[in-house]
Every structure is written in structure tokens, then in C-alpha cells.
Amino acid sequence: MKQGLYKITENVSIAKDIMRMTLCGDTSAITAPGQFVNIKLDGFYLRRPISICDYDDNSITLIYKIVGEGTQALSEMDDGVELDLLVGLGNGYDVSKSGEKPLLIGGGVGVPPLYNLCKKLVGLGKEPTVILGFNSAQDVFYEEQFKALGAKVLVTTADGSHGIKGFVTDAMKDVEYSYFFTCGPMPMFKAIEATAKTSGQYSFEERMGCGFGACMGCSCKTKYGNKRICKDGPVLEREEIVW
Amino acid sequence: MVNTKVSLSGWELDNPVIPASGTFGYGYEFAELYDINCLGTFSFKGTTKEPRFGNPTPRIAECPAGMINSVGLQNPGVDAVINEELPKLAKCFDKKVIANVSGFSIDEYAYTCELLDKQEQVGLLEVNVSCPNVHNGGMSFGTDPECAAAVTKAVKAVTTKPVYIKLTPNVTDIVSVAKACEQAGADGISMINTLLGMRIDLRTKKPVIANKMGGFSGSAILPVAVRMIYQVYEAVNIPIIGMGGVGSAHDVIELMLAGASAVQVGAANLVDPFICKKIIEDLPKEMEKYNIDDLSKIIGGAHNG
């Protein structure tokens, strides 16, 4: 984990209530896809944890949904503003277990961390399939970006206004896969858990205090003992999760 | 050259800055970030006789100038603290620590304190009779002077190290609780724990915290801490470890002027993991700014004249 000031170079809307922010600064603390940053915002006490969508040697891309006052304030920030970030938080996804045909399943604002994961998997010579689930066509983002990485992409919308009508699990039925990685809301996780045929990794969301393992605000029980979503997670393996 | 040394019941600290229990784990998480030997000392995660998972999540809520937590004393239990956490801490911290203890009965407090009292790494015992997040324990002992005194007596009877009782501000008259602890043999007072608070989510129209209520901390509570420390300092002759909303060297000096012999930093650690190091580095400059040569000489300074 590193603390530093990161300059906003982009902060734009890419779908309904969905923003993409790119920040410039030291990314050396990021060790795996699926990690997150914790952002200090003026006028708010606690930092805001946001998953890392993508990064390179000196920039970080975040995709976030405007859900409350903190993310609303974040969405109104201009290019050039410097933000105090804790970077490289959480364990992230372990790509070594993917097999040859990993399946990546993202639901709504759970999609972003899968982007860098997909990039890493393609880089390792894997053939990922990506299922992106949204409520409606206006919520869809990053379909083309995942395709551009070389992944097979299936999009589902609950109302059928774009792609396959239904949920991510409807699209999973016809996909052959060696392993899965997922991030999204709890009802989606439970549906995946009921249908998935292989091992996999789930990335969890929880209200956090610190984001780096100090306060025990985001603890959960696992088959291997208590874990902190922020430090020992957010990614847990299917085998250890207590549902 | 200014002097930042202070002492607690004969235990000399290089400076008065102490990360508060529950915001610093058992220390080694922060030791990955900086050399924690710069601290005066720190108070480790509230420890109970048995391991505890704590309360359901969400346990955390944002507030104006603060936060609410309802962790519920999650800890691995006293045996694991002695056999696993303290040996891990010994590798990154050369000083003695404050052992923070909670319980659900007077016997439990005494049992856990007796075990921790025997640990060489423990400098003093901080007995938490003020946790707002557990039922039938914690705060229920600290809201009644007689109960607080009974815990103090029981712990003193089985320990040799200084015993500080950590008090809750969720009382009508904190002075009477502090005096009862002093009369029961307490070596010092730690104050204040969090204020009982609640937030409601307008979208769900339900409390944010799963346990509904929790402990409010952060910079918003500093004036409450200053006031209560000031009141208790006037009424007792034992040292006070002050805490509540501290986030700067300025705040440390303010609590000491109110009557604190040392100062704990709590919620601020969760927002800025380097805050205690920064406060320690800022302290000499802040002392010079206010013409303070020797920090221990300003304790209770606001009461003079």
C-alpha cells in the first residue's frame, strides 16, 4: 500500500450514473487485478474505496457509480485536481488458477475490476469469455473495450433492451469454461453459486472503515476463519466462502 | 530542544502519542507502513477471554466530521493474543504496549487482565468498561459508578501493573464514575470512549449499521473530550490518558492542557494511516509555536489561575 497525491486527467460519464476517472501517479503498489484504491474527499470523513479498472506504469483508471454524496462529489471534480489516495489495497484476483478458458462475470458496477483481469489473462495466452450483466441498455458500458482485448463478450440486460434478455446465469448456460472470476451484487453471486460448474473467485463489496485491515469494520466469516474484506479480500475463493 | 517525554504511573514515554485501541490492530499492520517505534506506545485491539467475531456488517457509517463503528469487540481471544499476536508484535515493536481488555462479567475482566498482566510486553492495563457495541457488557459496567468500581477492585486484586479504567461519555456525570474508580484503586483513567450514535439511510429508510447504533468518533467529538477531561482532572488525583477526536499536534496539546498526561489517537488512524507519525513529527514545532519547552509541564495547564 502507498499513500500519495494523484492528479485527475479524465473524469467523464460513460453510462447512466457511471463515471470513468483516470488519475496520474505512482502505481508501483498495485500487485494484482481486482485491488482497489481508497480516496480522501474534502468534506467527507472516511475515504471512498473504488476498485481499479486498469492501470499502467503511471496512471490508474477507475470506473465508479454515483450512488451517494461521496461519489456525487467525486463526479464533479475537474481535470487537474489532486486527490489523496491509498493505492494497492486488497489481495486482488489470483490469475494462476484460471485454466485455459476462464469465464469472467461482471454485474453492473462490478464490471470494472474484470477489465484489467481480462487484459492480464489475454496476456498470459488464455481465452477468456466475459459476461457483462446490466439492468438496461442505458447502463451498459465497456462491451467494446472487452472485445478489443480479444475476449468473447456476452452482454445481458434484465429488460432485454440490449444483448441477451435475462441475467448473467442465463448466458452462462452455453459457455464452456475452466474457471470463473466474478464481481457484482450479492443476488448475482448467489445465482452464480447455484449454477457454476468449476472453482472460481468472488470479489466482495462491504462498507469499510479504513480499507487496510486496521478497524475490523468489514469482517466476514469464511471456512478458514475470519477475514477482512479490505485486507484478506476483497477476492475470496469459492471453496472458502460461507454463504 | 523541546522535551516531549511524559510518564504514566512511572512508565516514561518518549512522547504522549498513543494509537487508540481498535484503530491499530495489534500493531504489525502499521509496522509495514512505518517504524512504529516512534510512537509513545499503543493500545492494542480490545481483548476478551474468548474469541469474538463481533457484530454483523455493515459495522461502519460515515458522519459529518466523524464515523460510527459497531465492530463489537472482534478479537481472537486472550490466549491467541498472548501466543500469537504479542510474539508477532515483538518483531516490530521494542516498547511495552497498553493491553486493552473488555469483558462480560467481573470475573472475565479479572481473568483476562490477570493473564495479560504477566506478559513482559504489557506496560499497563486499560480496562474498557465503555464499549457501546455489546450487550450485557462493556458500557453497562461504565455507566454505573458502583459497577465500574467493582471491576476496578477485581482487576486490581489480581494484577501488579498500572490499571487505567477507560470510561464512556454516555453518562450524565462522568466525574462520579471517575471518582469511584479512583477510590477503588485505579491507577489512572482513560477517556473518552465513543459517543453512542446512529445514522439512517434515506434510500432504505433503515439504520445504516446492522446493529442499529454504534460508537461515534472522529474530530467532531474533540470538544466533548476536552470538556470531560477538564472536569475529571479537577476531581481526581490520578493521571488521565485523553482521547476523542484527536487528529493533530494541536489537538494533543489541547487535551494535555485540559488534564491529559498522554493522548490517544483513534479514528484518525483509519483515514490517514500515517497520522500518528505525522503528529509526533509535528509536535516539537507546535510546542515551539506556543512556547512550550517541556510537554509534561503543561498537563492540566488550562486549570491554573
Under 8 Å between Cβ of A231 and A213: yes
Under 8 Å between Cβ of A212 and B29: yes
Q: Where in the sequence numbering do the catalytic residues of B fall?
A: 131
Identify the CA nearest to B15 among candidates B39, B43, B35, B42. B39
Of B29 and B208, the structure prediction assigns the larger pLDDT to B208
Cα-based torsion angle of the residue sequence A152, A157, A162, A164 in order, rounded to the nearest 10 degrees: 60
The predicted-structure confidence for B91-140, as pLDDT tens digits, reads as follows 999 999 999 999 999 999 999 999 999 999 999 999 999 877 666 666 67
Note whether B48 contacts A: Cβ–Cβ < 8 A. no
Residue B93 pLDDT: 97
Question: Per-residue pLDDT averaged across B200-228, rounded?
Answer: 97
Amino acid identity of residue B83, one-letter, is N
Residue A127 pLDDT: 97
What does the domain layout of chain B look like in residue ranges? 6-303
Question: Per-residue pLDDT averaged across B265-288, rounded?
Answer: 98
Mean pLDDT over each residue of chain A, to the nearest integer: 97
Residue B131 pLDDT: 74
Beta carbons of A219 and B67 less than 8 Å apart: no
Confidence of residue B304 (pLDDT cuts 50, 70, 90): confident
Q: Which of B61, B63, B74 sits opposite A216 (nearest CB)?
A: B74
- Percent of chain A residues topping a pLDDT of 90: 100
Q: Is B250 exposed, middle or buried (0-12, 13-18, 19+ CB in 10 A)?
A: middle
Look up the CATH superfamily of B6-303: Aldolase class I (3.20.20.70)
Q: Tell me the fold of A95-203.
A: Rossmann fold (3.40.50)
Under 8 Å between Cβ of B2 and B295: yes
Q: Which of A44, A47, A217 sits opposite B69 (nearest CB)?
A: A217
Q: Which of B45, B53, B69 sits opposite A209 (nearest CB)?
A: B69
Question: Per-residue pLDDT averaged across A38-61, rounded?
Answer: 97
Beta carbons of A217 and B29 less than 8 Å apart: no
- Percent of chain B residues topping a pLDDT of 90: 94
Using DSSP's 3-state secondary structure scheme, residue B237 falls into: coil
Question: Per-residue pLDDT averaged across A142-165, rounded?
Answer: 97
Confidence of residue B1 (pLDDT cuts 50, 70, 90): confident
Under 8 Å between Cβ of A84 and A5: yes
Confidence of residue B305 (pLDDT cuts 50, 70, 90): low
Q: ipTM of this predicted complex?
A: 0.92
What does the domain layout of chain A look like in residue ranges? 2-89, 95-203
Q: B143: part of which helix (H) or strand (E)?
A: none
Backbone angles phi, psi at B118, to 5 degrees: -80, -10
If you search the block for the grid coordinates 448467489, which residue do you land on? A190
Measure Cα distances from B59 to A79, A110, A140, B53, B216 in Å: 34, 22, 32, 12, 12
Cα-based torsion angle of the residue sequence B212, B214, B218, B220 in order, rounded to the nearest 10 degrees: 70
Architecture per CATH, domain A2-89, reads as Beta Barrel (2.40)
Q: How long a stretch of residues is chain B? A: 305
The predicted-structure confidence for B157-183, as pLDDT tens digits, reads as follows 999 999 999 999 999 999 999 999 999
Sign of CA dihedral B128, B132, B136, B142: positive
Measure Cα distances from B234 to A88, B168, B178, B192, B277 in Å: 48, 18, 11, 16, 31
Question: Per-residue pLDDT averaged across A82-98, rounded?
Answer: 97
Beta carbons of B53 and A45 less than 8 Å apart: no
The predicted-structure confidence for B46-91, as pLDDT tens digits, reads as follows 999 999 999 999 999 999 999 999 999 999 999 999 999 999 999 9
Question: Per-residue pLDDT averaged across A22-49, rounded?
Answer: 97
For residue A86, list chain B residues with Cβ-Cβ distance below 8 A.
Answer: 273
Q: Strand B163-166's sheet: what is its strand order?
A: B17-19, B262-265, B240-243, B188-191, B163-166, B122-128, B97-101
Distance between CA atoms of residues A207 and A212, nearest Å: 13
Note whether B23 contacts A: Cβ–Cβ < 8 A. yes
Distance between CA atoms of residues A122 and B44, nearest Å: 45
